[in-house]
Amino acid sequence: MKILVANLGSTSFKYRLYEMSGSDAELLAQGGFERVTEYTPCIEEMLETLIGDKIIESGQDLDAVGFKTVLGKDVSGCVKADDQVLDALEGFKEVAPAHNPAYAEGIRCFQRMLPDLPRVALFETAFYQWATAASTTYAIPPAWRALGIRRYGFHGASHKFIAERTAELLGREDIAERARRLYQDGPTAFSGAPVRVISCHLGGSSSVTGICNGVAIGTSMGFSPQSGLPQNNRVGDLDSMAIPYVCKMLGLSVQEAEEQLTKDSGLLGLSGVSNDLRDILAAADDEHQEANLAVDVMVDSIRHWAGSFFFKMGGAEVIAFTAGIGENNPDIRESVCAGLEDLGIRIDPEANQKTVRGMEGIISAPDSAIKVLVIPANEELVVAREVCRFIQS
């Protein structure tokens, strides 16, 4: 079964084509476009490339296209990307303005160009649909909650891959299979020894998720991708009273304040250097005070959320680092885990420094009670697997 995974950003289009056989996947092709203003030409060129490279003979050779949709009003899970999904994306376009309009346009493009091709949406919120009401409900008036304002969580495909892969690495096929079948079967009964994972997805956009026996129990992100850890240029968590105060004192409109919080904040706002951690770390090495502060704030926030899930789950067997920063920055990993020996966390400095650039590995010391792992992100593979299962079911 050939599954095309379409990853649409506000100005980018990336794709991967997999040949699926059960949970096994062979990557047949991948590519992408930057500085995208219209998706139809990109999709047309992608199909021409796949045909020209003899990967497929025509668009009819594709069995389905999967979309890593972010947030839909009153819709989550792995579902048919139909008019209901388009309405759901439209309903929350103000909450995820960089993502929802792009995915809506991409779905419509495939609908026009390949109308018979099954279209499937895997929402990033899907992984958190079994978290308790206590962990997803804000203390706000009922009328606000009726609008759908709650903690949703994001990076679901990435954290789900961590749930599956950590179980595999620990030799716990029972939990790995439970995690793989989660969207089809829900959190099935489980009675074995627990595997509790603190998953740290650290990149331009970052989040920390607690995972118990393959199921998410909570996450740092809330109603929108704006929340949680400081992002590259988005604020992360902020006291709600700051907005009316700043609007009054600086004479800003709510729209102007929102623009500053989504474009001029986060690591960029803290450092004044860049929204890229590599540039910030270089400046920090030169004793740039604000750059050092940005690094410290990020590490402190990661530790804050990791600590909350450690307490909530009653411990952990694994701390996993993934995504661009998590995979490639040993100094951040070391700082997150520093001084936690009494909790059973000991980093192997040599293994930590060697594990970079997409490598998978164990970076904890042999006598560490809690394993610390680096696992390269593979969100597209999760989408392909879930789309395949959806089509087969």
Biggest CA-to-CA distance, the chain: 62
Distance, in Å, from the CA atom of 309 to the CA atom of 233, rounded to the nearest integer, reads 25
Quick one: CA dihedral 159, 160, 164, 167, positive or negative? Answer: positive
Distance, in Å, from the CA atom of 262 to the CA atom of 96, rounded to the nearest integer, reads 11
Residues contributing to the annotated binding site for Mg(2+): 7, 379
Written as six digits, the tokens of 64 are 């389905």
Residues contributing to the annotated binding site for ATP: 14, 276-278, 324-328
Q: Roughly what angle, to the nearest 10 degrees, separates helices 277-285 and 289-313? A: 120
Residues contributing to the annotated binding site: 7, 14, 276-278, 324-328, 379
Say whether 106 sits in a helix, a strand or coil. Answer: helix
21-24: Cβ within 8 A, 24+ apart: 23/180, 23/385
40-43: Cβ within 8 A, 24+ apart: 40/109, 40/112, 40/113, 42/13, 43/6, 43/13, 43/106, 43/109, 43/110, 43/113
Quick one: CA dihedral 218, 222, 225, 226, positive or negative? Answer: negative
